[in-house]
Amino acid sequence: MSSAEPIEPCIYLIPIWLGDHGGPEGLPAMNVDIVKDLRCFFVENERSARRALRRMDPSFDLASIAMHRLDKNTSPEELDGLLEVAIGAGRSGIMSEAGMPGIADPGHALIALAHVRGMRVEPLIGPNSMMLALAASGMSGQAFVFHGYLPRKPHELRRTLQKISMDARTTGYTQLFMETPYRNMTLLEEVIRTCPSELRLCIAVNVTQPKGSVRTRTVADWARNPPNLKGAPTVFALAP
């Protein structure tokens, strides 16, 4: 009597739509088929993750799955334990709150450990606000740097923006960065104060959403007519 072949341990990276408008219809059907077979998930917020799974498949049996917290506060010791859970599960998934896991997202730490242990990591196709903003910005997509979230302390933020501006001028690389929605205006005000007025600044707001926009102007133009970004998911890009 032959036994079934063991399942190769695999972590799937499960992208989630950007914002309240839209949903699984914007994802490949293959994603939903894969997710429906998983019973182990690593998530930032269990409530929103369960809601996303139910939107992917209204008949999803939420009682049959295990969810494990994976956020910016997850310690290295906890990460080791989560990796053992993933190996034991065979097939599991990392879910982002929005967009792609591992991109400006705490999932990257578990993904790194998975590679150390030789696990298969399978990214699924889905939206990523940073890449969508870059594509629509009119700036160079050949050479760019993504800085993620910038420092919050005013003097550190100013110093970082000065360096980003210098790098944009000297290298020609597009400089991408972002902030949590409730701090967007603080970041924009500092960009206008600190960055050279002739640099181009792309502001991508609510990408893929009904009232979303991607607009590129000079820093000086934005200073004359700054947009209201309060509470809106936003990606910024700076270039010569």
The residue ranges of every structural domain in the chain are 10-123, 129-239
Distance, in Å, from the CA atom of 87 to the CA atom of 191, rounded to the nearest integer, reads 44
Fold classified for 10-123: Cobalt-precorrin-4 Transmethylase; domain 1 (3.40.1010)
User: Is residue 103 a contact partner of residue 14, using CB atoms and an 8 Å limit?
Assistant: no
Fold classified for 129-239: 3.30.950
pLDDT band at 1 (very low <50, low <70, confident <90, very high): very low
- Tell me what pLDDT residue 25 has: 84
Tokens of 54: 């139910």
Q: What is the pLDDT of residues 45-65, one digit of tens each?
A: 999 999 999 999 898 889 999
Residue 184 corresponds to which amino acid? Answer: N
pTM of the model: 0.87
Q: What is the pLDDT of residues 2-20, one digit of tens each?
A: 445 556 889 999 999 998 8
Distance, in Å, from the CA atom of 194 to the CA atom of 164, rounded to the nearest integer, reads 10
